[in-house]
Structure 1
Amino acid sequence: MIKNFSFHFIFLVTICFLLLLGYWQTQRLEWKMNIINSVENNYTLKLDKFPFEGGIDKEFEFMQVELKGSFIKEKLMYFFKSNLSGMSGFEIVLPLKTENKKYVYVILGWIPYDFKESFNLDFIDSNKELIVNGALIYSKERKPLIPENEYSASIWYLLNTDEMDNFHKIESSPYILKIIDQNKFENLLIEFEPSNITNNHLQYAVTWFLLSIVILIMYIYYIRQGITKNEV
């Protein structure tokens, strides 16, 4: 009897767990759709000036803006990140000193993982002011599972302006500028489109729900087989 109880319990708990996973993915789907809609709406807007103070609740994130200033090449950072094709590599990030003496971190573009050792910034003149256009990205919050930055190798894992400021001894805007002009730097892969934000939560939800249905059918089949044997 105990064996039968354990069997039924495991089956029912598994079904409930899979249903909860499916429901959770539908919630994530709604959350991701809201993000995509927000990105697409903001991406069509262009600001007249850079929001150095940050604004309220990331209100300017993904909006486009123009900046003029000079890059500080000696503060080069490599941020570990896969590109939109899934290849491992690094985003190249430099602080930009604007014409009004303020600092903004700029994502120049992406390089493959193997290119790091041979990469250089010869294509940038620190003594020359440049005009850069891009989309705004708000500083990311550190979460428990994010690795610590490898400062000695200049490898970073989190776009957090406070951490970058503490390391470089500067004070920057909480907004980071991501260059979106694919022809700006020939040495770098520049990719950013709102439509490229992945949203696989519907597939995940369908998968969990289908698994729960399959297990439920197996469970019902097992019970019916047991009833049939008892009747015989």
Structure 2
Amino acid sequence: MKGLDVRRLILPLGFGIIGIVILVSLGNWQMRRLEWKEDILAQIDARIAADPVALPEDIDPNADRYLAVTAEGLMTTEELHVYASSKATGAIYRVIAAFELTDGRRIMVDRGWIKPEDKASARDEVDVRVEGNLHWPQERDSYTPENDLAANIWFARDVDAMAAALNTAPILIVARKTSQINPAVTPLPVTRTGIPNDHLNYAVTWYGLALVWLAMTLYYLRRMRAKHKV
């Protein structure tokens, strides 16, 4: 049998090299994205934990996201209950209350969570100082059920919709602590939990595919050589 013409290896070898270069490049891009994302998350952590400032008069949902603030006013009994759950607590409801500031503005405060059996319990109207973070959660997607308004059960913290229901500005403070403690309501402060950061997993996937591509290329070349070996 005739020996293998080296020129016949050029196409599969070139195809293999191009594929490996593309896959490794994608892995490197994800590593750069990982560095960028970790820097963003560090900034968010720092902003959440920063010393609070007085609630600004002019608030921008983009520029002021996660801003640590304090506010004083009347915690009303006007509430929305957002269904949630976790491994640690099971089923709970977040309590979103209308909050009347001393300057006359009406905003909302996420007071924290209550047990389902406390949903129907009355909470007193009280003057209070709230410390927390401004937040505009993005919790609603195509899989989120419609809110049960009759039962006051919401399935996402949709700031605009909640503000319309409570007749407030679309501003939400997620409480870290309050000057008046209600033992039935446990604050659930803002964290960066839930912000996706899967870039390392993506990078590992691309690098893994590059190794597989390399192995397949070498295997194919060896098979070609064995097939044409004299």
Same fold (TM over 0.5): yes
* Conservation of the 8 A alpha-carbon contact between 1:79 and 1:92: no
CA contact (8 A) 1:62 1:136 kept: yes
Aligned position for 2:82: 78
2:112/2:185 contact within 8 Å kept: yes
For 2:168, the equivalent position in structure 1 comes to: 171
Deviations 1:201-224 (A, max 9, x none): 343133213321332133124313
For the residues of structure 1 that align with 2:76 and 2:178, how far apart are their CA atoms? 21
Residues of 1 paired with 2:199 and 2:138: CA distance? 26
For the Cα contact (< 8 Å) 1:91–1:108, is it kept in 2? Answer: yes
Q: Give the equivalent residue in structure 2 for 1:44.
A: 50
Check if 1:103 corresponds to 2:106: yes
CA distance in 2, matches of 1:86, 1:122: 19
Q: Which residue of 2 aligns with 1:119?
A: 118
Asked whether 1:59 is paired with 2:63, we answer yes
Mapped partners of 1:228, 1:87: distance in 2: 62
State the identity %: 16
Residues matched between the structures, number: 213
CA contact (8 A) 1:142 1:160 kept: yes
SS at match of 1:70: strand
What is the deviation of 1:131?
1.5
Is this contact kept in 1: 2:83–2:155, CA < 8 A?
Answer: yes
Q: Distance in 1 between matches of 2:33 and 2:86?
A: 22
Q: Report the CA distance shift for 1:229/1:188 in structure 2 as closer, same or farther (over 3 A).
A: farther
Q: Which position in structure 2 is the counterpart of 1:181?
A: 177
The aligned amino acid for 2:147 is E
Residues 156 and 218 (structure 1), Cα distance of their counterparts in 2 relative to 1, 3 Å cut: farther
Aligned partners of 1:40 and 1:194 also within 8 Å: yes
Write out per-residue CA displacement over residues 134-169 of structure 1, whole angstroms, 9 at most, x where no aligned residue: 1221x346876363541334333443332112223x
Query: For 2:211, what is the secondary structure of its paired residue?
Result: helix
Do the aligned residues in 2 keep the contact of 1:78 with 1:92 (CA within 8 Å)? yes
Question: TM-score, normalised on structure 2?
Answer: 0.68
Counterpart contact for 1:21–1:208, Cα < 8 Å: no
| Mapped partners of 1:162, 1:195: distance in 2 | 21
| TM-score, scaled to structure 1 | 0.68
Do the aligned partners of 1:65 and 1:133 also contact (CA within 8 Å) in 2? Answer: yes
Contact residue 67 and residue 133 of structure 1 kept, 8 A: yes
User: In 2, distance between residues paired with 1:132 and 1:175?
Assistant: 14
Q: Provide the residue aligned with 1:133 in structure 2.
A: 131
